[in-house]
Chain A
């Protein structure tokens, strides 16, 4: 038996609905239809009165979720694509994220963001928003890269008392498979070293973990041992695990699929440079998508985001410094 990444998300929501009466699902086309990616397939029938189709109103969906959350519910909101969460931005960053600090009343809601690119998806169905949400105080931003993490982190995230931005990568939905949902079940906020090495560290998250591991496999043929750190959550950021890895390797490449200006990779460079300058044998390097909207054509798209080739290229430069 194999389970895919999207099976894990489906199973997590099924588990939550079964075990926590406070949980309900709200989103576009998620009830009878089962969602644009079928993440909620069958859940409306399995859990009557708990899964709702929403109008195409991202702002109101999130305002509604925040109101329900302060009254004791645990709403899980599906954005049809992460890109559309820009329409809910105000309710997320101003309503939900500020509420606990202002009033002392927490807002336990979860927003699922089908994130990242797939060939042919174009500028408005491919975005990675984690850096934008991580910038705001009051949010927890999760970026699972494995089947087990997708399952456990969604369940654990919904149990947290704060608003959670759950970035699930669309490319991993059906491509990533595992034998079961079991895993090490690390707590949210802990990074994982997915591949050990001694010559350089790649710090990344979500689908880029798999691209980084492929790049590391290729470089192994040339005798390089590359360590790969999966952040798992970009906020909180487990900088201790990153610094410990950099202490071993002396070199860091930060990789993210989001746009290059600022964001998670820039934060990593800033923190490692500030707190771990003495550990570095070479200037830390970052690799992101290109600074254009995400192109539609597969030939352009593949060259827009980091790939094993571009990661190898960046690592080769870093290793030869």
Chain B
């Protein structure tokens, strides 16, 4: 069995018009939203950090669009605005969280990319990288025990840096041992904050690890929407059909700093000018037009209407209340103590 099962890149894909159009719209929406978030950050309107997925939209959106909201689980990481959008997260959740609205899913208790909605199958990430892998495995494990796993998958994303954590190893290994339908996408964007990949790992391609874990492995050019749309749904399908965990390694360059506080000055010019330095949104636009999937006018039209939608979501969140420290219940526990005495105890307490 070959290590890498990369489905042939075919023109068939271009015929899958609706999927590509929907993925691209999520990419575009995320890009427009993130540009807006960057402006808000620079204008001092956002408390805390802003982390953008510029350059990773093709991978993220393809993954999100390959999942079924209401059935599947999706645990995004910090550069997955496009995947969240494609999976079905309302963008008001994003603007509310960034702007601290009490109506957002985190109610001001956590911010920016740490938002999540368990009711939508989308866990809220913690900052400790690799931690969501076993968490998603647990969500799937629960469904298996409840007898409702069939046809369901769970996906999560990490970067090249998180592949060096113990949590990555333990989580992927556990998912493999339990044969869970988990799809783990590594966005190898060449830098973990400022650390280049050669200081992070010593193998040629992280996908080589797939064999060691006994999971499926896929490697894909993350700047190429058609390649992503060929490989990622295939990995998801294989997990869905009982093939166990699947590891997808996507290659690209992060086209932004680690966060908006970082200018990424450590990224060498030759990388920026190289193949992975190309902007996946521009590449996708050309691909869609070339293959007749969408016209330039259509794309410009989408751009306008998505910009409006983003503007409305920002304006809405800006009008909303921020949290009130005097009315917060300040309780980290769902249990309210003191607990009542049991009937048995009360009887004994009688004189």
A-facing residues in B104-118 (Cβ within 8 Å): 105-107, 109-110, 114, 116-118
**Number of B residues with CB within 8 Å of any CB on chain A:** 51
Query: Is A57's CB under 8 angstroms from B131's CB?
Result: no
Report if A275 contacts B (CB, 8 A).
no
Query: Is A24's CB under 8 angstroms from B123's CB?
Result: no
Query: Is A72's CB under 8 angstroms from B174's CB?
Result: no
Query: Is A59's CB under 8 angstroms from B170's CB?
Result: yes
Query: Is B341's CB under 8 angstroms from A63's CB?
Result: no
Report if A187 contacts B (CB, 8 A).
yes
The contact string, 1 if C-beta is below 8 Å from chain A, for chain B 312-347, is 000000000000000000011111011111101100
Report if A271 contacts B (CB, 8 A).
no
Query: Is A67's CB under 8 angstroms from B174's CB?
Result: no
Query: Is A67's CB under 8 angstroms from B142's CB?
Result: yes
Closest approach, in angstroms, between the C-beta of B212 and any C-beta of chain A?
A: 14
The contact string, 1 if C-beta is below 8 Å from chain B, for chain A 53-82, is 011011111111111111111010000000
A interface, how many residues as a size bin? 35 or more
Closest approach, in angstroms, between the C-beta of B348 and any C-beta of chain A?
A: 6
Complex: A136 Cα to B101 Cα, angstroms: 26
Report if B137 contacts A (CB, 8 A).
yes
Contacts of B143 in A (CB 8 A): 71
Q: Whose C-beta in chain B lies nearest to the C-beta of A189? A: B337
Cross-chain contact of B137 among A67, A105, A188, A236 (Cβ < 8 A): A67
Report if B167 contacts A (CB, 8 A).
yes
Report if A135 contacts B (CB, 8 A).
no
Contacts of B138 in A (CB 8 A): 63-69, 71, 75
Contacts of A100 in B (CB 8 A): 332-334
Among B133, B170, B173, the most chain A Cβ lie within 10 Å of the Cβ of: B170
Cross-chain contact of A98 among B126, B170, B339 (Cβ < 8 A): B126
Query: Is B135's CB under 8 angstroms from A73's CB?
Result: no
Query: Is A90's CB under 8 angstroms from B128's CB?
Result: yes
In the complex with contacts A24-B145, A67-B123, A68-B138, A106-B334 CB distance below 8 A: yes
User: Apart from A64-B174, A68-B141, what 12 extra A-B contacts exist at CB < 8 Å?
Assistant: A57-B174, A63-B131, A70-B123, A71-B142, A72-B142, A90-B128, A98-B332, A100-B332, A101-B331, A102-B114, A187-B341, A190-B338
A contacts, CB < 8 Å to B = 24, 49, 54-55, 57-73, 75, 90-91, 94-95, 97-106, 137-138, 140, 160-162, 184-190, 236
B contacts, CB < 8 Å to A = 105-107, 109-110, 114, 116-119, 123-124, 126-128, 131-143, 145-146, 166-167, 170-171, 173-174, 177, 331-335, 337-342, 344-345, 348
Subset of 22 A-B contacts with CB under 8 Å: A57-B174, A59-B131, A60-B137, A63-B138, A64-B134, A64-B141, A67-B137, A67-B142, A70-B123, A73-B141, A73-B145, A91-B131, A95-B128, A97-B332, A101-B332, A102-B110, A103-B106, A105-B119, A140-B335, A162-B335, A190-B338, A236-B337
